[in-house]
Chains A and B, each alone.
Chain A
Amino acid sequence: MQDTKHIVQPNRNRNILLTIFATVLVAVALLILTSLGSVKLGSALALFAIWGIATVSLNLVNGTLGILSLGHHGFMLIGGYTTALLILSDDKREKILASGRSSMTPFTVGLSIDNFFNAIGLTAFTTDETLWLRFLVAILLGGLMASVVGLIVGIPSLRLRGDYLAIVTFGFGEIIRLTASTRIFSPITNGALGFSGVPTEFGKSVWWTFAFLGITIYVISKLKYSSFGRAMEGIREDEIASEAMGVNLAYHKVLGFVVSSFFAGIAGGLWVSWLGGARLDSFLFTLTFFFLVALSVGGTGSITGVLLGTALVVFVRQYGDPLEQSYLITTWILAIGVILLLTALAIYIFRTIRRSRPKIIPAFYLFLIAGVATVVLALLAPSLGIMQGEFRGFGMRAIFLSILLIIIMVFRPDGMVGRAEFNWAWVFRERLDQPTEEERKQDAWLSNPELNRPGGAANTSDVEED
């Protein structure tokens, strides 16, 4: 600890000021965007923040710790359902009790922050104006529930490695979802019916979601640059070596997993509020798949990259609906032909830039001929009278994202930014690895021509004894 005090980051105060300034700038930008932009833009921004929380927390496990966790949707489900149950309004609760199909008991229906505050005498906090406080308590409890489950899941499964661990986390994620509707848990989760009518003013609010995103980024980046984070990165690079260096493998893995599932629970709570209801089919594996796309596209291990990837995924999800409209079949075929031609062009440009020889490979001709044939077919089809009618591209966004993920994995497995993080030194093109004054002196001593005279070896050995 004492040594680190002497290391002074260059321009530390400037960086802090710049960070504060940038945060204010983001807030002003959000203010302008939400007041001028449409409702759709606001909900897209909120979704970006919610999924950003989830991806940044998943990145702690997948990127920093190097464990492929595929059960993030399960932890989100726990956080989401806890939040939904705790803040549901009274008339919704009465409806659930009155409904014959629900299997909730009066006790589980009565589980709410409202009743808790009433019971301990804080009736001032049970009004409609103080819903935000109850939501805050509920979402934190949701995060805690998720992290408790993360602990229960993590302790046995984190002894495994690699693929097995991935499949076990996937299995746990699915078990959480599959058992949530069974009769053990349906008194709490309301079975397949789920909860509807969760207040949306928090999940759809840019301020709430971005505040949580900011807290998440702050906590996780602090963790990443602490000794815990260094130990986790060590585990990622080489488990055996870091164990030999004295890193407690199980402790760090479980710690990362629990912190990650806590924030997954927070994201789940906001997600439920964004959706306005908690249902089991809003927590499918699809969710984790989207996060994996965001991680891989942006750069697994880098918070900056992960946020960039999340922005892309959210953009495709919210603004990709033109892809799923109904178009003429010939239009679709034309689009496929154009994509094939563009692929051929990309191959050509790629090989020209890389100066690969042969410049033109068989795949180029293959794509070119297939593309030309498809385009010709699409253009001729109306006059030939074949392939009439329209076709709805249902699921095209997911197809687009999965193809994108395959392409990223094949051609640029590190993603957009790799493991690099955003920092101010990068903005100002500063070098953080400038040698200190002492190191300069040593360098000068080493390059001293006097030492290179015959017999210098004796001198150096003298110095080494110092």
Chain B
Amino acid sequence: MASKSTKVKKTINWIPWLLVLAILAIVVGRIIYLGTVHDRFSSAYFIRAFLESLKLGSLYALIALGYTMVYGIIRLINFAHGEVFMVGAFFTYYLFSFSPYPLYAAVIWSIFIAFGFMKIIELWRGKLKDPVVLASGAFAFVLATYLLSQTTVNFFVALVFSMLLTGVLGIVIDKIAYSPLRTAPRNSLLITAIAVSFFWQNFGLLVFTNRQTPFRPDTFLRNRMVFAVGDGTVRTTMLSFAIPLISVILVVILTLFVTRTRLGKAMRASAQDAEVAQMMGISVNKVIATTFLLGSMLAAAGGAMWGLNFGSLNQPAIMGILPGIKAFAAAVIGGIGSLPGAVIGALIIGFMENFMTAIFPKTAEFQGITEFKDTFAFILLIIVLLIRPSGIVGEDLSEKV
């Protein structure tokens, strides 16, 4: 293993790059071959597949960021993150499809929404008992109560509210289940995370629904788009551009937060060494709460757009598992603990899943690889862990002596 060598002369690990080259060669060769073999595989076909893959990849990226942030700071594979994603999607669904609510229900929703908004403002002001924070909380409470009790909220308002609610949920999960275990062995923490995940799966089954839920908000994002490319036409929806765009905006905001603000700096310091960061006067608990807040908000956004993309939400017990575990695989592939790594890994997974099935389609002599697409993420994860455990851009986080 070249990566393990401790020679002074830096050796380059050729195996990953050779693999990447081989995969690229297969993809390009396959595209050229398909283009010659049948009219169906025109450039429009590949552009559509590309757009779909990009969409899926950016959805995975939104989830993977939460995994990678939490892992970077407390070294925990937050198994419950897939379920946070599921809950976020269902919050959005309930907000836009059942409003206007009766007043008491609107007040209960709004308390949590206002608390989430206060937490966001707190990131900027520094403490919760600050006049600006309290005033904005009161403002958010009144606004949310009004919107939820009087109007049918549109998709974007529901998305923002659901992000705030899910952010609060992330903080609560951390407070109840993870914070008592800060000094416990890591396996205990992981088992707790599995328990939390299992709790939310069954809680969702109990409270939300036990069947597929249609998710069709009345928004312009679902409008059809048709444009001509070469000799064919690409039929898609606005979502193909909106989802990557929203993801990019959220990721840019997150990156700016992490690189430009004091709390973001504290976050990076805690990720490097939580103990020393604490000695330097950083409140690590606050940093961890912030991490859970931001990660869960991104997951909620991902969940809402997941529903928008597929037109329905799977039943709660299984909705979060596969996207969650694939996003985790994406985070590991990119290099866990690194924000750009998570995005790169998610795009790779999205392309593996969608573009590969598109360039190996079902034809007369070949049955296609669609039924294996759920396993690609795992196989890629295992390959990456075996040949380069630190991921594509990540640093080596393995235990040291």
Contact = CB atoms under 8 A, between A and B. Distances in A.
Interface of A: 62, 66, 68, 70, 156-157, 159-164, 166-168, 170-172, 174-175, 178-179, 181-183, 240, 285-286, 289, 292-293, 296, 393-396, 398-399, 401-403, 405-406, 409-410, 413
Residue of A181, A402, A403 most packed against chain B (CB within 10 A)? A402
Contact of A410 (B180, B187, B198, B201): B180
A289 B198 contact: yes
**B76, B372, B382 interface centre (most CB from chain A within 10 Å):** B382
Given A174-B325, A410-B177, A405 B375 contact: no
In the complex, which of the residues B325, B329, B367 has the most CB atoms of chain A within 10 Å of its own CB atom? B325
Contacts of A285: 321
A61 B221 CA distance: 50
B371 A183 contact: yes
28 contacts: A66-B187, A70-B194, A160-B385, A160-B386, A161-B398, A162-B186, A162-B399, A163-B75, A168-B382, A171-B325, A171-B381, A174-B378, A175-B375, A178-B375, A179-B375, A393-B206, A394-B206, A394-B210, A399-B206, A402-B199, A405-B191, A406-B177, A406-B192, A409-B195, A410-B180, A410-B181, A410-B192, A413-B188
Contact of B386 (A156, A162, A406): A156
B228 interface: no
A174 B374 CA distance: 10
Contacts of B36: none
A68 B187 contact: yes
Q: Which 10 A-B pairs have the closest CB atoms?
A: A395-B202, A171-B378, A402-B199, A405-B195, A398-B202, A402-B198, A409-B192, A410-B180, A402-B195, A395-B205
A285 B201 CA distance: 12
B335 to A, nearest CB: 13
Contact of B389 (A156, A164, A240): A164
Given A161-B398, A394-B206, 11 more contacts: A70-B194, A156-B382, A164-B389, A167-B328, A167-B332, A171-B378, A175-B378, A179-B372, A289-B198, A402-B199, A402-B202
Question: Max chain A CB contacts within 10 Å: which of B206, B332, B401?
Answer: B206
A163 B191 CA distance: 11
B128 interface: no
Given A394-B210, A409-B195, A167 B202 contact: no
Interface in B190-235: 190-192, 194-196, 198-199, 201-203, 205-206, 210
B41 to A, nearest CB: 23
Contacts of B317: 395
Contacts of B195: 289, 293, 402-403, 405-406, 409
A406 B199 CA distance: 9
B184 interface: yes
A395 B375 contact: no
Contacts of A162: 186-187, 399
Contacts of A183: 367, 371
B242 interface: no
B382 A68 contact: no
B190 A68 contact: yes
A401 B203 CA distance: 12
Contacts of A163: 75-77, 186, 190
B196 A406 contact: yes
Contacts of B382: 156-157, 168, 171-172
B379 interface: yes
A296 B185 CA distance: 13
A130 to B, nearest CB: 40
Interface string B376-400: 0011011001100100000000110
A394 B199 contact: no
B389 A160 contact: yes
Contacts of B203: 395, 399
Interface in B293-350: 317, 321, 325, 328-329, 332
A293 B192 CA distance: 10
B124 to A, nearest CB: 27
Given A68-B191, A171-B378, A174-B378, A403 B199 contact: yes
Contact of A168 (B181, B199, B385, B398): B385
Contacts of A394: 205-206, 210
